[in-house]
Amino acid sequence: MRTLRDIDQLRSTLREHRQRGQRIALVPTMGNLHAGHLALVACARQHADIVVSSLFVNPMQFGPGEDLDGYPRTFSADQSQLTEAGCDVLFAPAVSALYPNGLDAQTRVHVPVVGKGLCGGSRPGHFDGVSTVVSMLFNLVQPDVACFGEKDYQQLAVIRKLVRDLHMPIEIIGVPIVRATDGLALSSRNGYLSVEERATAPALYRTLCMLRDALERGAAIDESLDQGKAALSEAGFTPDYLELRDASLASVSPATRHAVILAAAKLGPARLIDNITVQLPASE
């Protein structure tokens, strides 16, 4: 695996692959890799000849008071895992390479509608930061395909819309959530949890499963969500949101069948997110 930090080197390396007619896949990451990221790389391998992974802790997507400084940085371990997983090129630029004029002077990409509410509501500017850096990576790598985790359900929806709206010829693939055996969705932020908090954390997924089962049996939506929030608080979480949306993140209507329950909740120092799909029954 080649590790490149320089934009010109990345472009010339990928130009050679493209000239040979090879398909390129991109897996954007912020590092501190776990089995969820490796599933993205495995998916990328299946869809392309050359797999490029980017590792960049993107300051633009962190709000004031968020965990930019403390975000886990484990470069050598990430490099070894990517090599092992069959990644061909690791692109790990410095902040000054992507944002040479600083964040304030930087052109930003804003994706309306799907970026509103949920994490977009709790983390103002977050999805502009994600959309900007992902657009930049798409321009630099010009992949045929890019893989993103379904754990960040709203992020995936934002990126799908970005690519559609800007007519980028890139196939976006969502990769299913990878969970620990106790159900907790893998996340770099799980590393912030104490031993006790880690033992509590699977209650987030259990609550989502309980809610899904209730809604699929025809339980009332608002009451079920209230019960879910109460269950999370009882377990020790501070719920941020717990919402039912249709699969495209629009509000549910009586006609909605394919829906998703999305949750964000704080547990100690960690803000955890998760989601689960639901098949709503037709009302009588």
Q: Which residues bind ligand PAF (CB under 6 A)?
A: 28-30, 58, 61, 130, 133-134, 152, 155
Q: Which CB, 11 or 34, lies closer to ligand PAF?
A: 34
Is 30 annotated to bind a ligand? Reply is: yes
**Cα(45)–Cα(231) distance, rounded to whole angstroms?**
40
Is 61 annotated to bind a ligand? Reply is: yes
DSSP-derived letter for residue 41 is H
Tally Cβ neighbours within 10 Å of residue 44.
Answer: 27
Is 115 annotated to bind a ligand? Reply is: no
By DSSP bridging, strand 2-4 and strand 145-149 are unpaired
Q: Which CB, 133 or 278, lies closer to ligand PAF?
A: 133
Q: Which CB, 59 or 183, lies closer to ligand PAF?
A: 59
Closest distance to ligand PAF from the beta carbon of 284 (Å): 41
Closest distance to ligand PAF from the beta carbon of 268 (Å): 21
**Residue nearest ligand PAF, CB atom distance:** 28
Closest distance to ligand PAF from the beta carbon of 209 (Å): 24
**Cα(217)–Cα(226) distance, rounded to whole angstroms?**
17
37 in active site: yes
Copy the structure tokens of residue 157.
């929806």
Closest distance to ligand PAF from the beta carbon of 78 (Å): 12
**Cα(155)–Cα(114) distance, rounded to whole angstroms?**
9
Is 51 annotated to bind a ligand? Reply is: no
**Apex 243 CA angle, 66 and 34, nearest 5:** 50
By DSSP bridging, strand 258-267 and strand 270-279 are antiparallel
Of the residues 37, 47, 110, 258, only one is catalytic, namely 37
| Contact predicate 63/125, CB 8 Å | yes
| Contact predicate 239/263, CB 8 Å | yes
Q: Which CB, 124 or 218, lies closer to ligand PAF?
A: 124
Residues taking part in catalysis: 37
Binding site feature residues for beta-alanine: 61
Binding residues: 30-37, 61, 149-152, 155, 178, 186-189
Annotated binding site for (R)-pantoate: 61, 155
